[in-house]
Amino acid sequence: MRLFRRGNEHAWSQSRLSHYVEGDLTRRERLRVQLHAEHCPECSRGIRALRALLRLAGSLGALENARAPASIFDRVRADAKAAARGGARAHDG
Amino acid sequence: MSPVLAPSRSATTEESTLVSRAQGGDVAAFEQLASAHTDRLYAVVLRLVGDRGEAEDVVQEALLRAWRAIGRFQRRAAFATWLHRIAVNEANRTLGKRAQAGNSVPIDDESLKLSAPPHEGPARTAERGELRRSLEVAIAELAPPYRTALVLRDIEGLSTRDAAAIAGVGEAAFKSRLHEARMRVRAAIGDAALLAAPS
């Protein structure tokens, strides 16, 4: 594997942490982040923090009572009725 | 595994029939077609706008736009993807108007109330609640394109492909927005709080 300058390597790794935790890097890129993170506390912490963030965000999924109200089609129904009364379709179909 | 928006093969046949009927002006067919997705649409929009009344208004408007445009739906994407895209555009239009008026996204605790995991002690629940609240605030402060990316991918759990299609951008651009959104939220919450989070 090529040797990279430390500063460049850190910036490169930082810009890919989110892709890394998502498993969205090539094998070579993934290894490159891993090798750097083994010696870089900042990138290593970044990986752990992003994993925690994704777990937390995933846990927000279940909103209580996030059900569409029964009135959700009211405008569609009114529009269809108005079109029927006018004798012409209101939409493009 | 990410939830998918594309219907199964048997559902595709039924969906195709309903789309044809809706394109012929059958409003009942349109309702049947769209009603399979309205709960999720509402949840996504509520996450984006943060207020139940406004979320209902946005989804109603999105459904009206979809009904009026169903004749132009060419089936290149799944109906659900097309419908979600209209709703997300409508939500972003609302957020844009709100930003012009100088108002931020409200954090309505009741609207965004979460189910507590079962058998969790009160201290853990409080800690988790505080962290979630910080996350809600950080998400609310994101600009709409970043918020949309994070909500669709990380909260709703859609695949990158579906989420990018709904956001109306290519996958590479979407990933870039998502990365930026995550880094901003991470910075807002702080690594110490994230790393102390109960898993």
The mean pLDDT value for B81-88 works out to 96
Q: Which residues in A lie closer than 8 A to residue B31 (C-beta atoms)?
A: 73, 76
| Sequence spans of domains, chain A | 1-62
Q: Give the model's pLDDT for residue B112.
A: 52
Q: Give the model's pLDDT for residue A90.
A: 47
3-state SS record for chain B: CCCCCCCCHHHHHHHHHHHHHHHCCCHHHHHHHHHCCHHHHHHHHHHHHCCHHHHHHHHHHHHHHHHHHHHHCCCCCCHHHHHHHHHHHHHHHHHHHHHHCCCCCCCCCCCCCECCCCCCCHHHHHHHHHHHHHHHHHHHCCCHHHHHHHHHHHHCCCCHHHHHHHHCCCHHHHHHHHHHHHHHHHHHHCHHHHHCCCC
Chain-chain contact of A72 with B63 (C-beta, under 8 angstroms): yes
Q: What is the pLDDT of residues B144-174, one digit of tens each?
A: 999 999 999 999 889 999 999 999 999 999 9
Establish whether this prediction's ipTM goes over 0.90.
Answer: no
More confident residue, B188 or A87: B188
| Residue in A closest to B189 by C-alpha | A53
Q: Give the model's pLDDT for residue A86.
A: 79
Q: What is the pLDDT of residues A45-59, one digit of tens each?
A: 999 999 999 999 988
Q: Give the model's pLDDT for residue B10.
A: 61
- B156 shares contact with chain A (CB less than 8 Å): yes
Chain-chain contact of B182 with A69 (C-beta, under 8 angstroms): no
Is the pLDDT at B71 greater than 90, yes or no? yes
CB-defined contacts A:B, below 8 A: 139
Quote the mean pLDDT of chain B. 86
Chain-chain contact of A50 with B154 (C-beta, under 8 angstroms): no
Is the pLDDT at B90 greater than 60, yes or no? yes
Residue A1: pLDDT band with limits 50, 70, 90: very low
Residue A63: pLDDT band with limits 50, 70, 90: low
Q: Which residues in B lie closer than 8 A to residue A61 (C-beta atoms)?
A: 155-157
Q: Give the model's pLDDT for residue B161.
A: 92
The mean pLDDT value for B58-68 works out to 97
Q: Give the model's pLDDT for residue B1.
A: 45
Q: Which residues in B lie closer than 8 A to residue A69 (C-beta atoms)?
A: 42, 56
pTM: 0.81
Is the pLDDT at B93 greater than 80, yes or no? yes
